[in-house]
Protein backbone atom coordinates (compact mmCIF):
# COMPACT_ATOMS: atom_id res chain seq x y z
CA UNK A 1 0.00 0.00 0.00
CA UNK A 2 1.40 3.40 -1.02
CA UNK A 3 0.95 5.93 1.77
CA UNK A 4 2.92 8.69 0.07
CA UNK A 5 0.88 11.83 -0.55
CA UNK A 6 1.62 13.03 -4.11
CA UNK A 7 3.08 16.46 -4.79
CA UNK A 8 0.36 18.91 -5.83
CA UNK A 9 2.26 22.21 -5.77
CA UNK A 10 2.19 23.99 -9.13
CA UNK A 11 5.02 26.39 -9.87
CA UNK A 12 4.45 29.69 -11.62
CA UNK A 13 4.76 33.44 -11.44
CA UNK A 14 2.84 36.10 -9.53
CA UNK A 15 -0.85 36.45 -10.28
CA UNK A 16 -3.02 39.49 -9.60
CA UNK A 17 -6.42 38.05 -8.70
CA UNK A 18 -8.07 41.38 -9.54
CA UNK A 19 -7.32 40.82 -13.22
CA UNK A 20 -9.66 37.82 -13.19
CA UNK A 21 -12.71 39.47 -11.64
CA UNK A 22 -15.75 38.52 -13.68
CA UNK A 23 -17.30 41.26 -15.78
CA UNK A 24 -20.34 42.79 -14.08
CA UNK A 25 -19.11 42.15 -10.52
CA UNK A 26 -18.65 45.85 -9.72
CA UNK A 27 -22.23 46.67 -10.67
CA UNK A 28 -23.55 43.69 -8.72
CA UNK A 29 -21.60 44.74 -5.60
CA UNK A 30 -22.96 48.28 -5.86
CA UNK A 31 -26.51 46.97 -6.27
CA UNK A 32 -26.18 44.60 -3.30
CA UNK A 33 -24.69 47.35 -1.12
CA UNK A 34 -27.46 49.78 -2.08
CA UNK A 35 -30.16 47.22 -1.29
CA UNK A 36 -28.50 46.39 2.03
CA UNK A 37 -28.46 50.07 3.08
CA UNK A 38 -32.07 50.63 2.02
CA UNK A 39 -33.17 47.40 3.69
CA UNK A 40 -31.38 48.28 6.94
CA UNK A 41 -32.89 51.78 7.06
CA UNK A 42 -36.34 50.36 6.38
CA UNK A 43 -35.85 47.72 9.06
CA UNK A 44 -34.79 50.35 11.59
CA UNK A 45 -37.88 52.42 10.82
CA UNK A 46 -40.44 49.62 10.98
CA UNK A 47 -38.86 48.15 14.14
CA UNK A 48 -38.86 51.55 15.86
CA UNK A 49 -35.07 51.46 16.26
CA UNK A 50 -34.84 47.94 17.64
CA UNK A 51 -32.88 46.77 14.60
CA UNK A 52 -30.35 49.55 15.18
CA UNK A 53 -29.78 48.33 18.73
CA UNK A 54 -29.36 44.78 17.42
CA UNK A 55 -26.80 45.98 14.86
CA UNK A 56 -24.87 47.89 17.53
CA UNK A 57 -24.62 44.81 19.75
CA UNK A 58 -24.01 42.41 16.86
CA UNK A 59 -20.17 42.65 17.03
CA UNK A 60 -20.21 41.25 20.59
CA UNK A 61 -22.50 38.39 19.56
CA UNK A 62 -20.42 37.75 16.43
CA UNK A 63 -17.25 37.58 18.54
CA UNK A 64 -18.80 34.81 20.63
CA UNK A 65 -19.96 32.91 17.54
CA UNK A 66 -16.50 33.19 15.96
CA UNK A 67 -14.81 31.78 19.04
CA UNK A 68 -17.30 28.93 19.16
CA UNK A 69 -16.96 28.18 15.44
CA UNK A 70 -13.14 28.13 15.48
CA UNK A 71 -13.15 25.87 18.54
CA UNK A 72 -15.57 23.52 16.78
CA UNK A 73 -13.41 23.33 13.65
CA UNK A 74 -10.17 22.91 15.60
CA UNK A 75 -11.77 20.19 17.69
CA UNK A 76 -13.29 18.19 14.83
CA UNK A 77 -10.93 18.64 11.87
CA UNK A 78 -7.28 17.95 11.13
CA UNK A 79 -5.19 21.12 11.02
CA UNK A 80 -2.92 21.22 7.97
CA UNK A 81 0.64 22.24 8.80
CA UNK A 82 4.26 21.56 7.88
CA UNK A 83 4.10 18.17 9.57
CA UNK A 84 0.44 17.36 8.85
CA UNK A 85 -0.44 16.91 5.18
CA UNK A 86 2.71 18.87 4.27
CA UNK A 87 2.01 18.68 0.52
CA UNK A 88 -1.29 20.51 1.01
CA UNK A 89 0.45 23.00 3.30
CA UNK A 90 3.17 23.57 0.69
CA UNK A 91 0.59 24.15 -2.06
CA UNK A 92 -1.27 26.68 0.09
CA UNK A 93 1.95 28.52 0.97
CA UNK A 94 3.06 28.62 -2.68
CA UNK A 95 -0.30 29.87 -3.95
CA UNK A 96 -0.45 32.51 -1.19
CA UNK A 97 2.95 33.80 -2.29
CA UNK A 98 1.95 33.87 -5.95
CA UNK A 99 -1.25 35.75 -5.09
CA UNK A 100 0.65 38.07 -2.74
CA UNK A 101 -1.89 37.01 -0.14
CA UNK A 102 -0.52 38.14 3.22
CA UNK A 103 -3.52 37.20 5.30
CA UNK A 104 -3.20 34.26 7.66
CA UNK A 105 -5.03 31.19 6.33
CA UNK A 106 -5.71 28.07 8.40
CA UNK A 107 -6.58 24.92 6.45
CA UNK A 108 -8.47 21.99 7.95
CA UNK A 109 -9.40 18.59 6.60
CA UNK A 110 -12.90 17.74 7.78
CA UNK A 111 -15.32 14.88 7.35
CA UNK A 112 -17.72 15.14 4.42
CA UNK A 113 -20.41 17.14 6.22
CA UNK A 114 -19.91 20.44 4.40
CA UNK A 115 -20.02 21.26 0.70
CA UNK A 116 -16.75 19.91 -0.77
CA UNK A 117 -14.58 22.91 0.11
CA UNK A 118 -15.24 26.25 1.72
CA UNK A 119 -13.45 29.49 2.59
CA UNK A 120 -14.84 31.27 5.63
CA UNK A 121 -13.72 34.16 7.81
CA UNK A 122 -14.01 34.39 11.58
CA UNK A 123 -12.95 37.88 12.60
CA UNK A 124 -9.46 38.27 11.13
CA UNK A 125 -8.96 34.52 10.79
CA UNK A 126 -9.40 33.00 7.33
CA UNK A 127 -10.19 29.29 7.28
CA UNK A 128 -10.29 26.88 4.34
CA UNK A 129 -12.12 23.60 4.85
CA UNK A 130 -11.33 20.63 2.60
CA UNK A 131 -13.39 17.46 2.94
CA UNK A 132 -11.87 14.02 3.17
CA UNK A 133 -13.90 12.79 0.18
CA UNK A 134 -12.75 15.70 -1.96
CA UNK A 135 -9.08 15.05 -1.21
CA UNK A 136 -9.45 11.30 -1.70
CA UNK A 137 -11.29 11.86 -4.98
CA UNK A 138 -8.58 14.11 -6.38
CA UNK A 139 -5.85 11.62 -5.47
CA UNK A 140 -7.77 8.54 -6.61
CA UNK A 141 -8.74 10.15 -9.91
CA UNK A 142 -5.20 10.08 -11.16
CA UNK A 143 -5.25 13.88 -11.31
CA UNK A 144 -3.92 15.01 -7.90
CA UNK A 145 -3.31 18.48 -9.36
CA UNK A 146 -7.09 18.86 -9.36
CA UNK A 147 -6.76 19.36 -5.60
CA UNK A 148 -4.47 22.32 -6.32
CA UNK A 149 -7.26 23.83 -8.41
CA UNK A 150 -9.74 23.49 -5.54
CA UNK A 151 -7.24 25.03 -3.10
CA UNK A 152 -6.56 27.85 -5.55
CA UNK A 153 -10.30 28.47 -5.90
CA UNK A 154 -10.76 28.90 -2.15
CA UNK A 155 -7.67 31.09 -1.79
CA UNK A 156 -9.02 33.23 -4.65
CA UNK A 157 -12.16 33.90 -2.61
CA UNK A 158 -9.96 35.07 0.28
CA UNK A 159 -7.69 37.14 -1.96
CA UNK A 160 -10.71 38.89 -3.51
CA UNK A 161 -12.34 39.38 -0.07
CA UNK A 162 -15.38 37.30 -0.97
CA UNK A 163 -15.46 35.62 2.44
CA UNK A 164 -15.93 38.68 4.63
CA UNK A 165 -19.09 38.74 6.74
CA UNK A 166 -20.84 41.55 4.85
CA UNK A 167 -19.57 40.42 1.45
CA UNK A 168 -20.74 36.86 2.11
CA UNK A 169 -24.11 38.17 3.20
CA UNK A 170 -24.41 40.19 -0.01
CA UNK A 171 -23.56 37.23 -2.25
CA UNK A 172 -26.02 35.00 -0.39
CA UNK A 173 -28.88 37.46 -0.85
CA UNK A 174 -27.95 38.79 -4.28
CA UNK A 175 -27.39 35.45 -5.95
CA UNK A 176 -26.08 36.94 -9.18
CA UNK A 177 -23.12 38.33 -7.23
CA UNK A 178 -22.48 34.88 -5.74
CA UNK A 179 -22.36 33.33 -9.21
CA UNK A 180 -20.02 36.02 -10.51
CA UNK A 181 -17.72 35.43 -7.55
CA UNK A 182 -17.56 31.72 -8.35
CA UNK A 183 -16.55 32.42 -11.94
CA UNK A 184 -13.87 34.85 -10.73
CA UNK A 185 -12.46 32.26 -8.30
CA UNK A 186 -12.47 29.60 -11.04
CA UNK A 187 -10.49 31.91 -13.33
CA UNK A 188 -7.90 32.68 -10.65
CA UNK A 189 -7.54 28.98 -9.77
CA UNK A 190 -7.11 28.03 -13.43
CA UNK A 191 -4.38 30.66 -13.79
CA UNK A 192 -2.64 29.29 -10.67
CA UNK A 193 -2.56 25.68 -11.89
CA UNK A 194 -1.88 26.77 -15.47
CA UNK A 195 -3.66 23.69 -16.79
CA UNK A 196 -7.23 23.51 -18.04
CA UNK A 197 -7.20 19.72 -17.58
CA UNK A 198 -6.54 20.09 -13.85
CA UNK A 199 -9.32 22.67 -13.56
CA UNK A 200 -11.63 20.46 -15.62
CA UNK A 201 -11.06 17.40 -13.40
CA UNK A 202 -11.44 19.50 -10.25
CA UNK A 203 -14.88 20.66 -11.35
CA UNK A 204 -15.81 17.26 -12.75
CA UNK A 205 -15.12 15.74 -9.35
CA UNK A 206 -17.58 18.18 -7.80
CA UNK A 207 -20.13 17.18 -10.44
CA UNK A 208 -20.15 13.38 -10.14
CA UNK A 209 -18.19 12.60 -6.97
CA UNK A 210 -15.02 10.56 -6.67
CA UNK A 211 -16.69 7.12 -6.74
CA UNK A 212 -17.96 7.51 -10.32
CA UNK A 213 -15.28 9.82 -11.69
CA UNK A 214 -13.26 7.00 -13.24
CA UNK A 215 -16.29 5.85 -15.24
CA UNK A 216 -17.30 9.22 -16.69
CA UNK A 217 -16.97 9.74 -20.44
CA UNK A 218 -15.17 13.10 -20.61
CA UNK A 219 -16.08 13.71 -24.26
CA UNK A 220 -19.76 13.22 -23.49
CA UNK A 221 -19.52 15.62 -20.53
CA UNK A 222 -17.92 18.24 -22.80
CA UNK A 223 -20.81 17.90 -25.27
CA UNK A 224 -23.34 18.16 -22.45
CA UNK A 225 -21.62 21.29 -21.09
CA UNK A 226 -21.84 22.86 -24.55
CA UNK A 227 -25.55 22.03 -24.67
CA UNK A 228 -26.14 23.58 -21.25
CA UNK A 229 -24.27 26.75 -22.20
CA UNK A 230 -26.31 27.07 -25.42
CA UNK A 231 -29.64 26.49 -23.68
CA UNK A 232 -31.36 29.82 -23.00
CA UNK A 233 -33.16 28.33 -20.01
CA UNK A 234 -29.89 27.58 -18.21
CA UNK A 235 -29.55 31.18 -17.05
CA UNK A 236 -33.16 31.14 -15.87
CA UNK A 237 -32.47 27.94 -13.95
CA UNK A 238 -29.50 29.61 -12.24
CA UNK A 239 -31.35 32.66 -11.00
CA UNK A 240 -32.24 31.09 -7.67
CA UNK A 241 -28.71 29.73 -7.10
CA UNK A 242 -25.67 31.29 -5.44
CA UNK A 243 -23.40 29.09 -7.60
CA UNK A 244 -23.50 28.69 -11.38
CA UNK A 245 -24.56 25.34 -12.82
CA UNK A 246 -21.51 23.08 -12.64
CA UNK A 247 -21.62 22.32 -16.36
CA UNK A 248 -21.64 26.05 -17.09
CA UNK A 249 -18.50 26.33 -14.97
CA UNK A 250 -16.97 23.45 -16.91
CA UNK A 251 -17.78 25.16 -20.20
CA UNK A 252 -16.19 28.41 -19.00
CA UNK A 253 -13.00 26.52 -18.13
CA UNK A 254 -12.90 24.82 -21.53
CA UNK A 255 -13.46 28.10 -23.35
CA UNK A 256 -10.91 29.92 -21.23
CA UNK A 257 -13.37 32.60 -20.09
- Note the pLDDT of residue 82: 94
CB distance 223 to 206 below 8 Å = no
- Please, what are the averages of pLDDT over each run of 10 residues along the chain (257 residues)? 78 93 91 81 75 70 73 88 94 96 92 68 82 85 87 95 84 90 95 90 85 86 93 90 93 82
Distance from first CA to last CA of the chain, Å, rounded? Answer: 41
Please report how the helices 132-140 and 145-159 are oriented relative to each other, as an axis angle in degrees rounded to 10.
140
Q: What is the pLDDT of residue 257?
A: 58
Q: What is the pLDDT of residue 18?
A: 94
How far apart (Å, rounded) are the C-alpha atoms in residues 212 and 67? 38
How much is the pLDDT for 41? 78
How many whole angstroms separate alpha carbon 106 and alpha carbon 126? 6
Q: Which DSSP string do the residues of the chain spell out, in sequence order?
A: ---PPPP---------GGGGPPTTHHHHHHHHHHHHHHHHHHHHHHTTTHHHHHHHHHHHHHHHHHHHHHHHHHHHSEEPBTTBSHHHHHHHHHHHHHHT--S-EEEEEE-S-SSSEEEEEETTEEEEEEEHHHHHHHHHTT-THHHHHHHHHHHHHHHTTTTSHHHHHHHHHSHHHHHHHHHHHHHHHHHHHT-HHHHHHHHHHHHH-HHHHTT--HHHHHHHHHHHHH-THHHHHHTT-SS--HHHHHHHHHHT-
pTM for this entry: 0.87
The predicted pLDDT at position 34 comes to: 83
pLDDT at position 158 is 94
pLDDT for res 163 = 86
Can you give the pLDDT at residue 255? 83
What pLDDT is attached to residue 140? 80
**Residue 128, pLDDT score:** 92
pLDDT at res. 169: 82
Amino acid sequence: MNNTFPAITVEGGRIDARHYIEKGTGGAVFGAFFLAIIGSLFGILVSYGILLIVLLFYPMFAWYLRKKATALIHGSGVHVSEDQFPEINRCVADFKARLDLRKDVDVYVVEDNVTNALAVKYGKKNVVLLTDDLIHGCLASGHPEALAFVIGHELAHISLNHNGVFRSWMSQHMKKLGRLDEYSADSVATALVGDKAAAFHGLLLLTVGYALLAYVNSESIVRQAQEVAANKYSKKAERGLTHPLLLNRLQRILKGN
